[in-house]
Amino acid sequence: MKTKEEALCTMKGIEALLIALSQYTEKMEQGVQSDLFLGHTGAGVHRDDLLLWIDGKPAKEFGSQGQKKSLAAARSSGCASPGPC
């Protein structure tokens, strides 16, 4: 059974994930016309548009290369929180 703190962290993570998904969807929808014109996508996971966090700080700015790789692997396996906790 999860502690109260773990449950709160999980809820914050779910909320952050829903917000990120909404923002990502909006960004993808905004770029459809330019993507069609240019013949390639200008936004998406291949562009490093996903924000990952380490101790409440964006991993892109504060994490080492190894930390970023480990965090990305943890996220893909479902073992990490999507947002700051």
- In a structure prediction context, what are the per-residue pLDDT tens digits for the chain, which is 85 residues long? 667 777 777 777 788 778 877 888 888 888 889 999 999 888 776 666 667 777 777 877 877 878 777 777 776 666 555 555 4
Radius of gyration of the chain (CA): 15
pLDDT at 85: 47
Q: Which residues of 41-71 are buried (b: 16+ CB within 10 A; e: fewer)?
A: eeeeeeeeeebbbbeeeebeeebeeeebeeb
